[in-house]
Amino acid sequence: MSQRGLPSHFLAAALVTGMGLAMPAGAAGAAEPVALSPHRASYEVALDQASEDLLSVDGRIAVALGEPGDCKGYGIDYRFVARFLKDQEIVVTDQQIRLTESRDGKDFAFDAESFVDSLPDMTTKGTAKTAGDATVVTYEEPVAREIRLPASTFPVHHTRHVVEAAKAGVPIFESHVFQGDADAEKTMTSTVVITPLGTEAIAGEIAGYGGAPSRKAEVSDGASGEDGTGAAGDAMAAGEPDGAPSRDEAAEPQNDAAAGDDAPPVAATPADADAAGKDPSASDPAAIAERLNGLKAWKITESFYNSDSDEDGLPVFETSYTLFENGVTGNQILKYDGYTLKARLSSLELETAPDCPAPAGE
């Protein structure tokens, strides 16, 4: 079962001037500075729109955005474990992704593994470097090869520039992106639509974050589907869904796992699919609200296109999510081919950012 669960907003793509970010005249100069907060977050996942052969889904996404004290770059550790109930069949998938990105956004390393029913399914590993008008992707796995792309932006800088565009009032833009996909030769393009959220709308969504799901903050894009407020279920409360490999069984991230000597280090704290981290208040609704109150936020709708895109102009994948100005993602909708998932923010820890200079050019 295909999963493009990577949240483009972190890793969550690309929006810099010269790489596709079309800002209105004067907007770039007026843009407010952007500071992304290192953090750990987890999301309960459930089925939002069913397909003919998919009865239910429960799972969890966990993501950690790290900024090591050496100020060389950023690290993202992402995991998506889900149990898909089909007619007469249960399939458990586990997607683990480790990314590093240099502070200037020019160098990128990726190491991704996926498992189906605890068995290895695919490994994608390599590096990418942007220089001038091109991004060169060098794969180690699944097959050693080199791909040349139009200049593309990597995940952390995508998030940074989505926020920058939102603050500058840019409603829509398009850009080339690379997030570590196994098929870079298909040349991924992202189209982002930004809608400002008012104070009441932000407060209403924040009210549903944390350990106890709230009806008024149910994740939905207007389509009918399963309630799913118990997403993750009993099995997820104790850890991964039945059948998912444990963190010990799956490969742990290594500082040189997907990078050369010049690549930035991997984030120090990996994201587990069953726990928020060390802070006992991570899933407390009041604590989460305190961490996010007063921040600006936007509803982001992002569509991805490549050479496999529908001839009628339909994207290969689409997601919508709430994005806060510190880079934290709230509730999400993930639209796959034939079904749609919803993800509710269930825990959040903010970490102290090191005292580093702003990325070059900002």
Cα first-last separation, the chain: 40
Kindly report which listed range (23-32, 263-272, 309-318) carries the lowest average pLDDT score: 263-272
Q: Band of the pLDDT at 211, cuts 50, 70, 90?
A: confident
What DSSP character marks residue 186?
G
The reported pLDDT for the residue numbered 360 is 59
Kindly report which listed range (14-18, 189-193, 261-265, 322-326) carries the lowest average pLDDT score: 14-18
Report if residue 357 sits inside a domain.
no
| Neighbour count for residue 132 (Cβ, 10 Å) | 6
Q: How far apart are CA 343 and CA 341, in angstroms?
A: 7
Q: Band of the pLDDT at 287, cuts 50, 70, 90?
A: very high
Q: How far apart are CA 13 and CA 250, in angstroms?
A: 27
**Helix and strand counts by DSSP (H, E) for the chain:** 5, 14
Report if residue 271 sits inside a domain.
yes
Report if residue 6 sits inside a domain.
no
Q: What is the pTM of this model?
A: 0.78
Cis peptide before 270 (omega within 30 of 0): no
Q: Band of the pLDDT at 337, cuts 50, 70, 90?
A: confident
The reported pLDDT for the residue numbered 362 is 55
CB 108 within 8 A of CB 100: yes
Report if residue 110 sits inside a domain.
yes
The reported pLDDT for the residue numbered 356 is 87
Average pLDDT, the chain: 79
Higher confidence at residue 223 or residue 35? 35
Report if residue 328 sits inside a domain.
yes
3-state secondary structure of 164: helix
CB 336 within 8 A of CB 2: yes
Residue 129 identity (one-letter amino acid): K
For the chain, give the percent of residues with pLDDT over 70. 71
Report if residue 252 sits inside a domain.
yes
Q: How far apart are CA 9 and CA 23, in angstroms?
A: 18
The reported pLDDT for the residue numbered 301 is 98
Q: Band of the pLDDT at 215, cuts 50, 70, 90?
A: very low
Report if residue 343 sits inside a domain.
yes
Q: What tokens does 92 get? A: 């458990």
The total number of structural domains in the chain stands at 1
Range of the domain at 285: 27-350
DSSP-derived secondary structure for 261-293? TTSPPPPSSPPPSS---S-TTTT-HHHHHHHHT
Residues near 175 by Cβ (< 8 Å), separated by ≥ 6? 13, 14, 15, 16, 19, 20, 21, 152, 153, 158, 189, 190, 192
pLDDT tens string 52-84: 889 999 999 999 999 999 999 999 999 999 999
- Rounded to an integer, the average pLDDT of 355-361 is 72
Report if residue 282 sits inside a domain.
yes
pLDDT tens string 92-140: 999 999 999 999 999 999 999 999 999 999 999 999 999 999 999 999 9
Nearest to 356 by CA among 15, 110, 37: 37
Q: Band of the pLDDT at 321, cuts 50, 70, 90?
A: very high
Q: Band of the pLDDT at 314, cuts 50, 70, 90?
A: confident
